Chain A
Amino acid sequence: MSRAARWLHAVLGAFAIATSTAWAGQACDAAPPDTLGMTRALGLAERVQQRLDATDAQVVIIARAGQDLRKYGLNWSHLAFAYREGNAATVPAWQAPPGAALFDGPPAPRPQRSTWRIAHKLNQCGTAEAAVFRQGLAEFFLDTPFRYEAAFVVPAPEVQAALMQVLTDDRRLVQWHTPAYSVVAYPWSTRYQQSNQWALETLAGSLDPAASTRERAQAWLQLHDYQPTVLHIDALTRLGGRITRANVAFDDHPNSKRFSDHIETVTVESMFDWLQREQLAGTPTVVR
């Protein structure tokens, strides 16, 4: 392979990483979605709502497949919390107001539906920053995902109760949030924070009142044997990613690991495995 070809390969590889691992946003493209994508996203959002309603959970941990990460052995790219809003948050039967001349939509079934809110961290336009959002299930799946599928785990009741206290409190929801963003942020550093890492540290902070900072949350996670995923990313690819993308950085990784191409980061799979291993949550349910 020529030098130019190697360089191109490296840059393309970096793009794949930059837009994949812990993928939580996309380029600033305000183009409207196509009809098929919109209807598929809305359909998935409704199916997820139905599956969540069928549980007795108040809080779940949910993943989407925003990007194709199969070459890294990963099926899911982005993690969020979903919680049932209100104790009796069901959709009331619609009734036309007296004298209303307008109708607000097509006839629809009138099942009891809960309102689920998503809490997650999103990267902004591929920049080096991210923010925490509270959204609906529709918005969560309208990111033109790689696959219109979702997976969720139901945490143990005491974990749900602890999470609910944080998810409904704007101040606590950002307590473990750092705006500086890298898609491959090192799990044991606080220089950057990717989306799945925010969810993991927020979970730790919710479970232990002493884990009130990112450093303490990470210490708690190490104490409880959380194991990140190891991605094998060579030097040329790392260099290409760092140069071409603002939201890719490797300088938070220890040199010994970085220079041996071992890039550790927080993934959906590593979190699901750990939650099950620690008996903090059950097995994943996939919704298609």
Chain B
Amino acid sequence: MRGAPGLGGIHPSQADYFQSVKGGGHGDYRLIVLAPSSVQELIDHTILAFELAETYRTPVVVFGDAMMGQMMEPVLMPEAELPPPNRPWATTGMEGREPNIVHTLYLPADKLEAHCNRLFAKYREIEQKEKRSIKKKWDCRIKRSA
């Protein structure tokens, strides 16, 4: 986050974080936003971000502000063991199946509404299962080497 509207200066600011948490574009979507509060969390959240993105097929923002970028701390480098990705929807070539199409455009209003409702059901599930806060010790589900 930068101070000031428009281009933004080079000073760190925490005035608001709508750019990340409210999404952009034409709306109708949410992002998962992870806000690390230490250098260790910068590393851990980066790994978690990939895990969450794979699980929910949703973009994840690791929201480190300028203060974080200027900190130095000793860290433990975890050896992440992410499960192999399962992406039956991916556009990898249609060998042995029907074509996969990845797009966001639905011209008929009812189809678009149904699509948005599917997305919002997913966002509700994420809200229920994945909320984390600094008060509750963050639970990393990724295996670590000691």
A binds B: no
B: which residues have CB within 8 A of A?
none
A: which residues have CB within 8 A of B?
none
